[in-house]
Structure 1
Amino acid sequence: MQYECKYVENIVEADWNLLPDITLLDVVTGDKPRLHTSVRACWSQEGLHVRFDCEDDHIIATMINRDDPIYNEDVVEVFIDTTGTGYKYFEFEVSPRNVIFDAKIEITDMARAQGERHSTGTDDTSDYKTVDIAWDAHGMLTSVDKLSEGQYRYELHFPFADLEAVPDEGTVWKWNAYRIDGDQSGKFHFWAWSPTGAVNYHVPSKFGELKFVK
């Protein structure tokens, strides 16, 4: 899977509706989920920009501090692997309250990463990866807006300095986009652009490609 990430001169003036969009699917089966989520991305000289547009009929978001375990509630997520190896990548999450979770991930056992199941896939006690939550993307900017009843928009802006890499036209990174959503019954649903086949987002072999184009 590949997403063509288009260049924009000025992100403030960018027409997001002209950018290609992708739709999140059930992370295990690849089936259409109960709520629609579309994701668009673009890049500028300053950094990478991602937008989620989400249907949401029930919000679960109680946490207020950066790096709280917001993955146990409603979140949107972006994983970015600038090397394409799958062994090291960045994890970014944003809750409906605009609370951020950001971390550097290092896979220590790729075989386990490709097959192990987790309830959320983000625990830092797993024996096949390390999760460095002490690291912060200091220049990262996020916003969450309620557009109308049941419609929410998340915007995430990542300076290339935080991603520790600067792409050029034709550069290809690996990435995936995810969402966790709790319904009114308390059941959580797990969605992804590139399904992993398990309730586990940390399967780098399933990441798709992010190709930078002009």
Structure 2
Amino acid sequence: MKCPEFWSQTGWLTVCLGFLRLLLDAALAVGQPVMAPDSLLPFAPRTYVCYRSDHPLRIDGRLDEPAWQAAPWSEPFVDIEGPHRPPPPYHTRIKLLWDDTYLYIGAELEEPHLWATLTRRDTIIFYDNDFEVFIDPDSDTHTYYELEINALGTVWDLLLLKPYRDGGPALNAWDIRDLKAAVALDGTLNDPSDIDRGWTVELALPWTVLAEAAPEGRPPRPGEQWRMNFSRVQWPLEVIEGRYRKRRDPATGRLLPESNWVWSPQGVINMHLPERWGYVQFSAIVAGEGTEPFQPAPEEPLRWQLRQLYYRQRLFREQHGRYARTFDELNVPANWRRRYHLTLQTTESLYEITARLPDGTRLHIREDGRIWKTFPDNP
């Protein structure tokens, strides 16, 4: 497993190596890699430092204001399944800014065939080519936001109380109040007679809404990190009688599957694994006036290891009809249990696993996947 590059670059090589040792300990105990049962990717989410804008931005879909010009671009998007899949043929990237009122998101999508059909808000927008945003403010994998937009500027926004794997549900009636959204097209929409260049997306998401699921119910402070990811859905098209149509398999008549290109790869075709999203760190520095390094939280390796135990519990219940009652049943090494003071409480249908960091902070995970932190003076 490759050590995440950003850890070594920011002085966290020791943390990374310690994490790898934990994974190796557990892997040796069962004779196989400790990974999510549905993913072969190592834990290496992408990171981004979000700088401030010193003035409110005009939301017109064009990323031409000085603040946008100063903000760094992300890495190009990759296939959702990771680097073992071919790179996307069309370039996609994002950049972020923030101020006291909004989180600003800009995206640039290369596209030779601009196409969109859906015009009603809260339609399932990924039936068109689209751009998507996912935000989990407190990194607990519950109560997170999703927003999708197509080249017509039609929006679908929803609130997920839990990932679908843990029972959902998705609240389609929920809206981002006072959302500002715009697109700008570099080409002609729904016109197959020419070759287009692409489109840009500009979003302003108010903190008054995003803070609802944030720690302490407030906007982020400088230095804090939120989990986010960004996705692009791309359908294979053909031209029939002068109009774009989704391509079908000539043998079956079924629609060919869409491509999914993302900022931080998921390992499987599923955006609803929030533990695999990237990290966005908020900076007090105005864009263009300096830089700061990304600083990974030292608890993240342990948080990921607890996620492995959650995956193991899911598999155990599928095999035995109940959750494991002991760490021996989960093949967790004794030295790892002692190192992090692991405890496990179970009933027939529930469980909670707790680990303790050296400073007394505790991390907890339970059967529905929620992970959270408590402090020494809390129960």
TM-score class, shorter: 0.7 to 0.9
Among candidates 281, 285, 300, match of residue 211 of structure 1: 281
Alpha-carbon separation, structure 2, partners of 1:58 and 1:146: 11
Per the TM alignment, residue 108 of structure 1 is displaced from its structure 2 partner at its CA by 5.8
Aligned to 2:232: 179
Q: CA deviation at 1:134?
A: 0.6
Alpha-carbon distance, 1:205 to partner? 1.2
User: Cα distance, 1:9 vs. partner?
Assistant: 1.0
TM-aligned CA deviation for residue 71 of structure 1: 1.3
Q: 2: CA distance between counterparts of 1:162 and 1:180?
A: 25
Number of the residue aligned with 2:33: none
Q: Which has the higher contact order (CA 8 A, sep 6+)?
A: 1
Deviation per residue, 1:61-104 (Å, 9 max, x gap): 21111100111211101101111111120001111110000000
Q: Which has the higher strand share?
A: 1
Compare CA radii of gyration and give the structure with the larger one.
2
User: 2: distance between equivalents of 1:82 and 1:51?
Assistant: 19
1:1-214 correspondence to structure 2 within 5 Å: 1-12=46-57, 13-22=65-74, 23-30=76-83, 31-107=86-162, 112=165, 128-148=167-187, 149-164=196-211, 165-185=218-238, 186=247, 187=256, 188-214=258-284
d(CA) in 1 for partners of 2:266, 2:56: 31
Q: 1:84 & 1:157 partners in 2: Cα distance?
A: 21
Structure 1 unaligned runs (5+)? 114-127
- Asked if the contact 1:19–1:41 (Cα under 8 Å) also holds between the matched residues in 2, the reply is yes
- Range with greater deviation from structure 2 (16-25 or 83-92): 16-25
Say which is worse superposed, 142-151 or 195-204, in terms of deviation. 142-151
Greater displacement, 147-156 / 191-200: 147-156
The structure carrying a bigger helix percent of its residues is 2
Corresponding letter in the other structure for 1:207: W
One-letter identity of the residue aligned with 1:68 = T
Note if contact 1:4-1:213 (Cα within 8 Å) is conserved in structure 2. yes
Q: What is the CA-CA distance between 1:60 and the residue it aligns to? A: 3.5
Native 8 Å contact 1:52 1:155 kept in 2: yes
Distance in 2 between residues matched to 1:210 and 1:43, nearest whole Å:
11
Of 19-28 and 185-194, more deviation after overlay is shown by 185-194
Task: Give aligned-pair identity as a percent.
Answer: 26
The whole-number CA distance in structure 2 between the counterparts of 1:106 and 1:211 is 23
Contact 1:146 1:153 in 2 (8 A): yes
- Deviations along 1:36-75, one digit per CA (max 9) or x if unpaired, are 0010001011110000111112233211111001112111
- For residue 81 of structure 1, what is the amino acid of its counterpart? D
Gaps of 5+ in 2: 1-45, 58-64, 188-195, 212-217, 239-246, 248-255, 285-379
**How many corresponding residue pairs?**
198
CA distance in 2, matches of 1:43, 1:147: 26
CA drift at 1:176: 0.3
In the superposition, the TM-score normalised over structure 1's length comes to 0.87
Cα RMSD (Å) of the superposition? 1.6
For the 8 Å contact 2:151–2:185, the answer to whether it is kept is no
TM-score by length of 2: 0.50
Letter in 2 for 1:5: C
Letter in 2 for 1:65: R
The DSSP-based 3-state class of the residue aligned with 1:15 is helix
